[in-house]
Structure 1
Amino acid sequence: MGITLNNVKKSFGPIDVIHDVSMEIPTGDFAVFVGPSGCGKSTLLRMIAGLEDTTGGTISIEGRDVTHVEPARREVAMVFQSYALYPHLTVFENMAFSLRLKKTPKARINDMVQEAARILHLEDHLKKRPSELSGGQRQRVAIGRAIVRQPKVFLFDEPLSNLDAELRVQMRLELARLHKQIGATMIYVTHDQVEAMTLADRIFVLKSGVVQQAGRPLELYDDPDNQFVGGFIGSPAMNFLAGRALGQQDGLLRIGLDAIGQELTARVTTEVAAGTGIRIGLRPEHLQPVDGGIPATVEMEEDLGGVSYLHARLSDGRPIVVEMRGRRNSLDGKAIAVGAAPEDVLVFAENGRRLR
């Protein structure tokens, strides 16, 4: 059954921050809420945890309505951005703290903490205090403290934000491994779409308290419902250009890019009247050098070895990013011409809705 939200709303006074959100997260799924700062993802997580009251709608966990149930009785465990460890307690004592409050027998506490330590590779650190641990180890202790509670749902609120880049990659892998190992339902909040793409079974993209699209990571990447999702999912971000429909035949739409005097063709089955204003989306990896393509001048080149990102500018001054692989000669400061296959050109209406 997992977690079900039906028409959930949240208001702070006259300000609505969550608007009629409905979703289903199957038992055992790793779901990620992603979106820009202020989109409501952390508020939504806190509502599931019971740390924020709902203004409307219902929340169910494993078929049980928990909308008005206090947090301690929801059978969820939350891991925050800050580790919130007790500095005077050892790793073992930090992980055992909630069990001791529940007066769990000592032998049972020892077994549960040892098992969590084994899963998280903390066996050699149980007698240490938090000050003796690295940031990644501290975060694992916080996760271990959640594991020993044996919750039905794990809730993670941007848990890797305080870690450096290398540790974030390591902890992402450990969280993915942990999910496979214990098979629990997990919900993870982040503004980092790379974390979302690499961790999630299902991603929920939020904007201004509304779920814009939900689906498997590659579904959102390959087939976004609107311009916001297309631009948010993917790194480097999708390029957008303004254009107008010129004509349509056999599922192919001719598009005029008047600002730069160029044309593109996109595969679109939706009928689009000639003259209609549209926007096209082009992912950097889909742009390739072609004769007679869109002209641009490379202003800066990021050469990462196996891949290079060309930051170029079109004739109308608009920036565009092109991904190149396996190339060693520099194009910095040079003129290029690029194009894309019709199936790789995404078309959006002026209101942002995808035209398929």
Structure 2
Amino acid sequence: MGVRLANVAKSFASFRAIRDVSMDIPTGSFAVFVGPSGCGKSTLLRMIAGLEETSGGQIFIDGREVTAVEPADRGVAMVFQNYALYPHLTVFENMAFSLRLARRPKAEVAERVGEAARILQLEEHLEKKPSQLSGGQRQRVAIGRAIVRQPKVFLFDEPLSNLDAELRVQMRLELTRLHRKLGATMIYVTHDQVEAMTLADRIFVLKAGVLQQAGAPLELYDEPENRFVAGFIGSPSMNFLPATVVGRAPEGAVVAVEGSEHRFVARMAKPLPEGHAVEIGIRPEHLAIGEGGLPVTVEVAEELGDISYLYTRTASGRELIVQRQGSRERLDGRAVAVSAAAQNVLVFDKEGKRLR
């Protein structure tokens, strides 16, 4: 059952923040809404929580329509970016607050808080105030406050953005473990596609209030539906080059890169007419240095140990990022040639739609 949205829309005066979004999030899944700032992902999450009214469409949780239901009656719990802990209360009191407000029996409160503290490894911190905790511990308290409510759906609104890089990696692992322990439906909002790839079993990519593509992380990585998804998912992002179709090969289309005589073969089932203007996309790890490829000049090399990133430029001025693994050869300032196998060259039309 999980969460289902049917043609959900949201407008603020004349501004359309969410445009007829439909999606199905299965029970027990970890879904991530991802996209650039202002794409509508947090607005969509707040609509599911009931903190924003819809301008159109329907929202279902566990098969029940909740579009007009009050937030407290939807069976959801939300974890915010800023923790929102009460500084004068202990960890125990913060986690127990909603249960005490609901006048739950003391024994039940103690049992639920104790279980949440055990899951989140907060047992030794229950008598501390938030000011005595690290950022990661405070975020765990905020998550614990959601757990004790035993919601049907957990909603996370960029909960790790205030943490430093090391803590974010640690908390990503903890959230993954928590999801496996609880088996609950979780919906997570982030602008960080690395978080999306590592946490989700299903990603929903948004742009300007429109759902661009939904699918498993590697499905979006390998088979993006459009140029936006191809460029947004993956770090470093996909390389793009303007090109023209000049022929046909058994594997697909033969394309000439702008400003070069080099030809790439691109994976395509449907033939394209010669002279057709397209854009090709190739991920950094799929570009190989060797003879007979597209000539480029290495401007900067980032050496990260086993992996290095070469920032190169074509004769026409286009930047290409090349990922190398296992090589320690310094190539700064050198002219090299890069090529890619046909199955790793994607084709997009001038509107950014993937051509197959």
Q: TM-score, normalised by structure 1?
A: 0.99
Q: Does 1:262 align with 2:262?
A: yes
Query: Which amino acid in 1 is paired with 2:39?
Result: C
Distance in 1 between residues matched to 2:291 and 2:251, nearest whole Å = 24
Query: Which amino acid in 2 is paired with 1:21?
Result: V
Q: Does 1:272 align with 2:272?
A: yes
* 1:271 CA displacement: 2.2
Partner residue, 1:158: 158
SS of the aligned residue for 1:329 comes to: coil
Partner residue, 2:352: 352
* 1:15 CA displacement: 1.0
Distance in 2 between residues matched to 1:314 and 1:197, nearest whole Å = 30
Query: Which amino acid in 2 is paired with 1:111?
Result: E
Contact 2:136 2:167 in 1 (8 A): yes
Distance in 2 between residues matched to 1:142 and 1:67, nearest whole Å = 26
SS of the aligned residue for 1:259 comes to: coil
Partner residue, 1:26: 26
Partner residue, 1:303: 303
SS of the aligned residue for 1:174 comes to: helix
Distance in 2 between residues matched to 1:85 and 1:2, nearest whole Å = 28
* 1:313 CA displacement: 1.0
Show the 5 A alignment for 1:1-356.
1-356=1-356
Per-residue CA deviations over 1:270-323 (Å, capped at 9, x if unaligned) read 221111100000100000012111111111111110100001111111111000
Distance in 1 between residues matched to 2:298 and 2:257, nearest whole Å = 20
SS of the aligned residue for 1:260 comes to: coil
Distance in 2 between residues matched to 1:325 and 1:47, nearest whole Å = 44
SS of the aligned residue for 2:259 comes to: helix
* 1:327 CA displacement: 0.9
* 1:260 CA displacement: 2.5
SS of the aligned residue for 1:117 comes to: helix
| Structure 2 residue ranges without an equivalent (≥5) | none
Q: Percent identity?
A: 67
Distance in 2 between residues matched to 1:8 and 1:19, nearest whole Å = 7
Distance in 2 between residues matched to 1:45 and 1:346, nearest whole Å = 32
* 1:252 CA displacement: 1.9
Distance in 1 between residues matched to 2:286 and 2:110, nearest whole Å = 54
Distance in 2 between residues matched to 1:260 and 1:208, nearest whole Å = 35
Query: Which amino acid in 1 is paired with 2:351?
Result: N
Distance in 1 between residues matched to 2:197 and 2:274, nearest whole Å = 37
Per-residue CA deviations over 1:133-164 (Å, capped at 9, x if unaligned) read 00000000000000000000000000000000
Distance in 2 between residues matched to 1:257 and 1:237, nearest whole Å = 19
Distance in 1 between residues matched to 2:271 and 2:324, nearest whole Å = 34
* 1:330 CA displacement: 1.1
Greater Cα offset, 261-270 or 273-282: 261-270
Distance in 2 between residues matched to 1:311 and 1:299, nearest whole Å = 6
Per-residue CA deviations over 1:23-64 (Å, capped at 9, x if unaligned) read 000000000000000000000000000000000000000010
* 1:336 CA displacement: 1.2
User: How many residues are aligned here?
Assistant: 356
* 1:248 CA displacement: 1.8
Query: Which amino acid in 1 is paired with 2:176?
Result: A
Distance in 2 between residues matched to 1:118 and 1:21, nearest whole Å = 38
Q: TM-score, normalised by structure 2?
A: 0.99
SS of the aligned residue for 1:77 comes to: strand
Contact 2:251 2:265 in 1 (8 A): no
SS of the aligned residue for 1:114 comes to: helix
Query: Which amino acid in 2 is paired with 1:206?
Result: L
* 1:258 CA displacement: 3.0
SS of the aligned residue for 2:98 comes to: helix
Query: Which amino acid in 1 is paired with 2:179?
Result: H
Query: Which amino acid in 2 is paired with 1:227?
Result: R
| Structure 1 residue ranges without an equivalent (≥5) | none
* 1:251 CA displacement: 4.1
Distance in 1 between residues matched to 2:267 and 2:76, nearest whole Å = 46
Contact 2:2 2:24 in 1 (8 A): yes
Query: Which amino acid in 2 is paired with 1:287?
Result: L
Per-residue CA deviations over 1:249-276 (Å, capped at 9, x if unaligned) read 4342100113223211112112211111
Distance in 1 between residues matched to 2:36 and 2:230, nearest whole Å = 14
SS of the aligned residue for 2:32 comes to: strand
